[in-house]
């Protein structure tokens, strides 16, 4: 009996001892849920970073990039976030105006991004081009340009996302704006008869497309890589458009309220490392900002490579989003 | 109202209203006065008009089909009727995206209807985007629920009245006028409000099947303000506008149809005399056939998930199932306790205090809760409790609370009428016997409320079980429910596995509904 008590005491001391030894600093990273989710790269990123940092990485998730920003705004300077990972360029200006982010002080030259990166607050960690995805067994001749899609009255039916509720939806709105400028209202009116619907999010639109409700869906050039790598189906392709494709860049930044800026900066630097970047293609189904040493997976090498990137600066987006959305509403909400 | 007679339920109602109001105030305050009162531009006007028309039509069709089905089912007995009744209690719980895919699987461009027509040599193309799609989805989700509740109401018509009707030789028309109609009339306003509000707020369905931004609801604007513009004050104002509209509609419906006093006695299953009327036989066959043709394929299309079930069986699923069940149980208990408290207060004021206006006001609170956009409510409550509660636990607390509040109107539909009945039937007797407090609760109320309470619990638990709105905000690697797993798969191209999860959610909801209908149909 006595020996049992001694054993119990000893083992509890042991447990407490190891617990104390494990009291490593905790780095809290806010991200969107699919990044940290079952199929996202979050698990690998956490393991690899913890192996090097002698710290513990804690994911706190919000539904999507917009919700991340909303949550930060609600929490203000009381936020527990050290790093925010997973905003996108269209939200960058709004994020900065929260006055919650610190400068990253990193050298960001030589990234494999289609545009030169000059932002001093946010670090890009992956990117992709928007594109219409279609099923080659159903649609043999996809349009070769945005103009052809918009102006051919007997063109394919498409399903889009609502630019007010979805990131690719907003991206396509900006794409139309970039190509048509002041004439975008007319272009929307011309395209409208062939738009099946604007869904709340990417999932509904892609699901509608897979169910055969539309010939093409707004998604990313990387979508076909998923079907090839995971489902071994090669009938899905992204349509290359002559005018160029709108660029989607995902970004990360450290908060100025963080109590461990060194660790947070170490994590941002880690985001550009090979161990992080190599998880992007088949973890997040996006392009890495630094090509991993092992190269891209085969399915990614076969994707279309748009020659021109279309992009508004974050400030332009923040300034004009309301006006662009109103113009879109006027043209399509009749 | 006399203050000295304040009821516990009054306090509960005040607490709910205060909680919601505080949430709104914190939302408005964080908006730091940047926004003035909302301006309702031409677009918002169009959205409002569309919402009214869409919700009104959806309600009319859901009530029409639901009531017709209920009457037909009340008159007819056939094998498999029990299973059908259970199914009717299930459709409300279907996650919206599963409902959208179900509608398209049947009525879509490549759906079953289009394919059968094509195999008959037809060359046209079907498009249901716009009103048809929205209405089909809303009627699919709501009409079965209407049928279920109405049927429960019809079954409460006292046996004495039936005997009297039989001995007086009532015609089918007279039976409808004197027996069925009063029972229907008692349920109609509450049901109409419930369905109207659900459709008025409908969001993902309207966007996915609407075909364009002219088909949107106020909820879209609230979501936009909250999540895109980060204009919380505007979100709060829009939410208030929605609540105001819904309360006005609820008041109007309350005013039009007043609830007749209940006079139920216990009874076993009745053989209805009008079942023999051949005209009704034809009518019922048509109704049941139509119901079967409309609802059957939609329900069957959910079964496509069957093939992917093996792919989703893992520990995550077990964990998420447990989390979902726990949250559903807490939310269900919360909704039922609140419904009991409010129901008791309403009864107290209507009968003991003879202040029907105050009672009617309290009666409105559950319906008004339904009008509050869950996003806005959650964001407000989040602001409210954040200073006191650990980050990681906030979701665990808010999830059951918001789900519970959301399910309260449904629990209230079940519980409140029975509480009233108990009082109307035994109130004077127990008063004259001097029975009060716990004894009265145990002897008078409990036997009457026990079964509706159980079925309310099953329904509200199922509703919370299928909820995605709130878990989307707080879900993450540490807090995952079944709907969360479903959407996680959808976001990762895994649509077939998602449909398997949809099937599992429905199966659990079906089991819960089974329990619910067992309990509500059990003989005394």
Q: State mean pLDDT over A176-191.
A: 95
Nearest chain A CA: its distance from B296 CA (Å): 20
- Comparing alpha-carbon positions, the chain B residue that sits nearest to A214 is B109
Please give the full DSSP string across A90-141, using - where no structure is assigned: HHHHHHHHTT-B-------TT---SS----SS-EEEEEEEEEEEEETTT-SS
Whether residue B373 contacts residue B242, with contact meaning beta carbons closer than 8 Å, is answered with yes
More confident residue, A227 or B458: A227
Judged by CB atoms closer than 8 Å, whether chains meet at B488 and A334 is answered as no
Among the residue ranges A193-207, B287-301, B394-408, B506-520, the one predicted with the least confidence is: B506-520
Judged by CB atoms closer than 8 Å, whether chains meet at A66 and B379 is answered as no
- DSSP H helical segments within B31-41, as ranges? none
CA distance A35 to B3: 55
Reading the block at residue B464, the tokens are 């919370």
CB atoms within 10 A of CB B463: 24
Q: Which residues of B touch A67 (CB under 8 A)?
A: 227, 473
Q: Which residues contact A154 (CB under 8 A, 6 or more apart)?
A: none
Q: Which residues of B touch A202 (CB under 8 A)?
A: 491
Nearest chain A CA: its distance from B129 CA (Å): 7
More confident residue, A277 or B379: A277
Q: State mean pLDDT over A68-93.
A: 91
Largest CA distance in chain A: 89
More confident residue, A74 or A103: A103
Specify the pLDDT at position A263: 95
Tell me whether strands A26-32 and A236-239 are parallel, antiparallel or unpaired: unpaired
pLDDT tier at B487 (50, 70, 90 boundaries)? confident
- Comparing alpha-carbon positions, the chain A residue that sits nearest to B99 is A204
Judged by CB atoms closer than 8 Å, whether chains meet at A203 and B490 is answered as yes
Selected residue of A60, A139, A213, A322 to mutate for chain B interface (largest B Cβ count, 10 A):
A213
Query: Is the Cβ of B214 closer than 8 Å to some Cβ of chain A?
Result: yes
Domain that holds residue B362: 3-521
Specify the pLDDT at position B524: 41
* CATH number of B434's domain: 1.10.3720.10
Query: Is the Cβ of B45 closer than 8 Å to some Cβ of chain A?
Result: no
**Residue appearing with tokens 């149980």:** B329
Task: Decide: helix, strand or coil at residue B368.
Answer: helix
Tell me whether strands A195-199 and A83-88 are parallel, antiparallel or unpaired: unpaired
Report the candidate in B14, B102, B53, B24 with the shortest Cα–Cα distance to residue B361: B14
Q: Which residues of B touch A198 (CB under 8 A)?
A: 207, 212-213
Reading the block at residue B216, the tokens are 């949107």
Domain pair A20-127+249-301 / A128-247+305-332, same fold:
yes
Among the residue ranges A27-36, A167-176, B6-15, the one predicted with the least confidence is: B6-15
pLDDT tier at A2 (50, 70, 90 boundaries)? low
Q: Which residues of B touch A60 (CB under 8 A)?
A: 391-392, 476
- Comparing alpha-carbon positions, the chain B residue that sits nearest to A166 is B228
**Total residues belonging to chain B:** 524
Residues 221-240 of B with CB under 8 A from A: 223-224, 226-228, 230, 232
Nearest chain A CA: its distance from B47 CA (Å): 9
CA distance A71 to B227: 9
Judged by CB atoms closer than 8 Å, whether chains meet at A33 and B209 is answered as no
Reading the block at residue B221, the tokens are 């604007």
Q: State mean pLDDT over B25-48.
A: 72
Judged by CB atoms closer than 8 Å, whether chains meet at A197 and B230 is answered as no
Report the candidate in B26, B236, B207, B58 with the shortest Cα–Cα distance to residue B139: B58
Tell me whether strands A158-161 and A309-310 are parallel, antiparallel or unpaired: unpaired
Q: State mean pLDDT over A227-253.
A: 96
Specify the pLDDT at position B269: 59
CA B8-B10-B12 angle, to 5 degrees, is 75
Judged by CB atoms closer than 8 Å, whether chains meet at B495 and A94 is answered as no
Reading the block at residue B7, the tokens are 């009821």
Q: State mean pLDDT over B239-244.
A: 86
Selected residue of B227, B311, B374, B480 to mutate for chain A interface (largest A Cβ count, 10 A):
B227
Q: What DSSP element (H or E) covers A58?
A: strand A56-62
More confident residue, B386 or B198: B198
Pick from B227, B472, B476: CB nearest A60: B476
CA distance A293 to B300: 50
What is A20-127+249-301's CATH number, 3.40.605.10, 3.40.50.1220, 3.60.70.12, 3.40.190.10? Answer: 3.40.190.10
CA distance B134 to B75: 31
DSSP 8-state symbol, A74: H
First to last CA, chain B: 37
Specify the pLDDT at position B236: 84
Nearest chain A CA: its distance from B230 CA (Å): 6
Nearest chain A CA: its distance from B41 CA (Å): 11
User: Mean of the per-residue pLDDT values for chain A?
Assistant: 91
Tell me whether strands A287-288 and A245-254 are parallel, antiparallel or unpaired: unpaired
In the CATH hierarchy, which top-level class contains the domain A128-247+305-332?
A: alpha beta
Q: State mean pLDDT over A316-332.
A: 91
Q: State mean pLDDT over A2-28.
A: 61
Which ipTM did the prediction report? Answer: 0.83
pLDDT in tens, B269-320: 567 888 888 889 999 999 999 999 999 899 888 888 888 888 888 888 999 9
Reading the block at residue A36, the tokens are 């940290």
Q: State mean pLDDT over B322-340.
A: 93
Is the pLDDT at B265 greater than 70, yes or no? no
Whether residue A249 contacts residue A88, with contact meaning beta carbons closer than 8 Å, is answered with yes
Selected residue of B39, B107, B207 to mutate for chain A interface (largest A Cβ count, 10 A):
B207
CA distance A322 to A303: 34
- DSSP H helical segments within B348-436, as ranges? 356-371, 374-385, 391-432
pLDDT tier at B267 (50, 70, 90 boundaries)? low
Q: Cα Rg for chain B, rounded, in angstroms?
A: 23
Is the pLDDT at A8 greater than 70, yes or no? no
Domain coordinates of chain A in residue numbers?
A: 20-127+249-301, 128-247+305-332
Q: Quick one: CA torsion of B300, B306, B308, B314, rounded to 10 degrees?
A: 130
Specify the pLDDT at position B305: 85
- B139: number of CA atoms within 13 Å, CB side? 25
Tell me whether strands A123-135 and A158-161 are parallel, antiparallel or unpaired: unpaired
Q: At what angle do helices B356-371 and B315-347 cross, to 10 degrees?
A: 160
Is the pLDDT at B2 greater than 50, yes or no? no
Specify the pLDDT at position B39: 62
pLDDT in tens, B99-151: 999 999 999 998 999 999 999 988 888 889 999 999 999 999 999 989 988 88
- Comparing alpha-carbon positions, the chain B residue that sits nearest to A329 is B213
Q: State mean pLDDT over B474-489.
A: 85
First to last CA, chain A: 83
Q: What DSSP element (H or E) covers A248?
A: strand A245-254
Reading the block at residue B55, the tokens are 């919700």
Question: What percent of chain B shows pLDDT beyond 90?
Answer: 22
**Residue appearing with tokens 């094509």:** B118
Selected residue of A63, A232, A330 to mutate for chain B interface (largest B Cβ count, 10 A):
A63
Q: Which residues of A touch B376 (CB under 8 A)?
A: none
Pick from B207, B224, B473: CB nearest A199: B207
Query: Is the Cβ of B476 closer than 8 Å to some Cβ of chain A?
Result: yes
Residues 103-162 of B with CB under 8 A from A: 104-105, 108-110, 127, 129
CA distance B216 to B208: 10
Q: State mean pLDDT over B261-265.
A: 51
CB atoms within 10 A of CB B159: 14
Q: Which residues of B touch A37 (CB under 8 A)?
A: 476-477, 488, 491-492
Among the residue ranges B203-207, B372-376, B504-508, the one predicted with the least confidence is: B372-376
Specify the pLDDT at position B38: 59
CA distance A200 to A207: 12
pLDDT tier at B1 (50, 70, 90 boundaries)? very low
Specify the pLDDT at position B4: 45
**Residue appearing with tokens 């001391």:** A13
Q: What DSSP element (H or E) covers A197?
A: strand A195-199
Beta bridge partners, A247, equal A129
More confident residue, A87 or A63: A87
Is the pLDDT at A21 greater than 70, yes or no? no
Is the pLDDT at B434 greater than 90, yes or no? no
CA distance B240 to A14: 57
Nearest chain A CA: its distance from B235 CA (Å): 12
Q: Which residues of A touch B485 (CB under 8 A)?
A: 38
**The total number of structural domains that make up chain B:** 1
Specify the pLDDT at position B32: 59
Judged by CB atoms closer than 8 Å, whether chains meet at A213 and B104 is answered as yes
Whether residue A166 contacts residue A262, with contact meaning beta carbons closer than 8 Å, is answered with no
CA distance B159 to B265: 7
Q: Quick one: CA torsion of A35, A37, A41, A45, rounded to 10 degrees?
A: 90
Specify the pLDDT at position B472: 77
């Amino acid at each position: 009996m006595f020996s049992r008590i001694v054993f119990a005491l000893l083992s509890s001391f042991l447990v407490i001892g190891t617990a104390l030894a494990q009291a490593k600093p905790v780095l809290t990273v806010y991200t969107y849920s699919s990044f940290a989710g079952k199929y996202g790269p979050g698990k690998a990123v956490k393991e690899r970073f913890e192996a090097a940092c002698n710290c513990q990485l804690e994911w706190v998730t919000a539904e999507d990039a917009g919700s991340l920003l909303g949550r930060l705004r609600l929490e203000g300077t009381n936020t527990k976030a050290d790093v925010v990972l997973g905003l996108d360029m269209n939200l960058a200006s709004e994020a900065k105006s929260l006055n919650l982010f610190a400068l990253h002080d990193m050298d960001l030259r030589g990234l494999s991004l289609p545009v030169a990166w000059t932002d001093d607050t946010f670090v890009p960690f992956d990117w992709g081009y928007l594109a219409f995805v279609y099923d080659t067994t159903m649609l043999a001749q996809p349009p070769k340009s945005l103009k052809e899609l918009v102006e051919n009255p007997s063109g394919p039916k498409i399903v889009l996302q609502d630019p007010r509720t979805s990131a690719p939806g907003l991206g396509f709105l900006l794409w139309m704006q970039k190509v048509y400028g002041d004439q975008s209202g007319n272009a929307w009116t011309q395209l409208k008869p062939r738009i099946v619907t604007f869904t709340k999010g990417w999932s509904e639109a892609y699901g509608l497309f897979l169910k055969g409700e539309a010939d093409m869906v707004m998604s990313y050039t990387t979508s076909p890589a998923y079907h090839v790598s995971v489902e071994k189906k090669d009938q899905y392709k992204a349509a290359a458009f002559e005018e160029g494709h709108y660029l989607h860049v995902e970004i990360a930044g450290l908060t100025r309220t963080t109590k461990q800026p060194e660790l947070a900066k170490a994590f941002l630097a880690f985001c550009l490392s090979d161990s992080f970047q190599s998880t992007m293609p088949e973890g997040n189904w996006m392009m890495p900002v630094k090509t991993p040493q092992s190269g891209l997976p085969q399915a990614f090498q076969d994707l279309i490579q748009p020659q021109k990137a279309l992009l508004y600066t974050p400030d332009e987006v923040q300034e004009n989003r309301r006006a662009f959305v109103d113009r879109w509403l006027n043209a399509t909400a009749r | 109202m006399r203050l000295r007679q304040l009821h516990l339920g009054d306090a509960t109602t005040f607490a709910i209203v205060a909680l919601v109001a505080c949430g709104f105030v914190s939302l408005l305050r964080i908006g730091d006065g940047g926004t003035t009162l909302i301006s309702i531009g031409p677009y918002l006007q169009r959205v409002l008009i569309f919402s009214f028309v869409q919700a009104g039509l959806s309600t009319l069709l859901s009530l029409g089909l639901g009531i017709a089905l209920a009457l037909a089912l009340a008159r007819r007995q056939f094998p498999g009727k029990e299973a059908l009744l259970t199914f009717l209690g299930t459709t409300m719980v279907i996650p919206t995206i599963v409902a959208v895919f179900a509608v398209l699987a049947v009525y879509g461009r490549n759906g079953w209807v289009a394919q059968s027509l094509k195999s008959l040599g037809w060359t046209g193309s079907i498009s249901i985007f716009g009103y048809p799609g929205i209405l089909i989805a809303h009627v699919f989700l709501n009409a079965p629920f209407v049928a279920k509740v109405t049927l429960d109401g019809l079954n409460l018509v006292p046996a004495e009245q039936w005997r009297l009707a039989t001995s007086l030789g009532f015609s089918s028309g007279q039976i409808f006028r004197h027996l069925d109609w009063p029972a229907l009339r008692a349920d109609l306003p509450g049901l109409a409000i419930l369905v109207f509000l659900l459709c008025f707020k409908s969001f993902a369905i309207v966007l996915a099947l609407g075909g364009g931004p002219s088909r949107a609801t106020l909820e879209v604007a609230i979501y936009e303000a909250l999540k895109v513009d980060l204009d919380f004050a505007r979100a709060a104002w829009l939410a208030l506008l929605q609540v105001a509209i819904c309360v006005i509609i609820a008041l109007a419906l309350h005013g039009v149809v007043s609830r007749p006093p209940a006079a139920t006695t216990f009874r076993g299953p009745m053989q209805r005399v009008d079942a023999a009327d051949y005209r009704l036989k034809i009518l019922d066959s048509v109704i049941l056939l139509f119901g079967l043709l409309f609802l059957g394929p939609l329900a069957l299309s959910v079964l496509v998930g069957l093939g992917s079930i093996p792919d989703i069986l893992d520990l995550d699923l077990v964990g998420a199932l447990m989390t979902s069940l726990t949250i559903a149980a807490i939310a269900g208990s919360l909704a039922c306790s609140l419904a009991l408290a409010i129901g008791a207060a309403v009864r107290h004021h209507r009968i003991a205090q003879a202040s029907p206006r105050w009672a009617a006001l309290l009666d409105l609170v559950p319906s008004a809760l339904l009008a509050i956009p869950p996003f806005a409510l959650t964001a407000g409550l989040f602001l409210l409790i954040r200073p006191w509660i650990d980050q990681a636990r906030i979701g665990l607390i808010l999830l059951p609370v918001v789900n519970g509040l959301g399910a309260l109107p449904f629990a209230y539909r079940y519980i409140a009428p029975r509480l009233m009945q108990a009082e109307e039937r035994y109130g004077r007797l127990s008063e004259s016997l001097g029975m009060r407090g716990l004894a009265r609760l145990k002897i008078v109320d409990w036997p009457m409320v026990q079964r509706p309470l159980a079925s309310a619990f099953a329904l509200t638990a199922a509703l919370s079980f299928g909820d995605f709105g709130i878990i989307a905000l707080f879900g993450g690697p540490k807090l995952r429910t079944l709907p969360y797993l479903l959407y996680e798969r959808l976001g990762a191209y895994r649509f077939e596995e998602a449909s398997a999860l949809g099937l599992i959610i429905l199966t659990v909801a079906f089991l819960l509904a089974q329990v619910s209908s067992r309990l509500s149909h059990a003989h005394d």
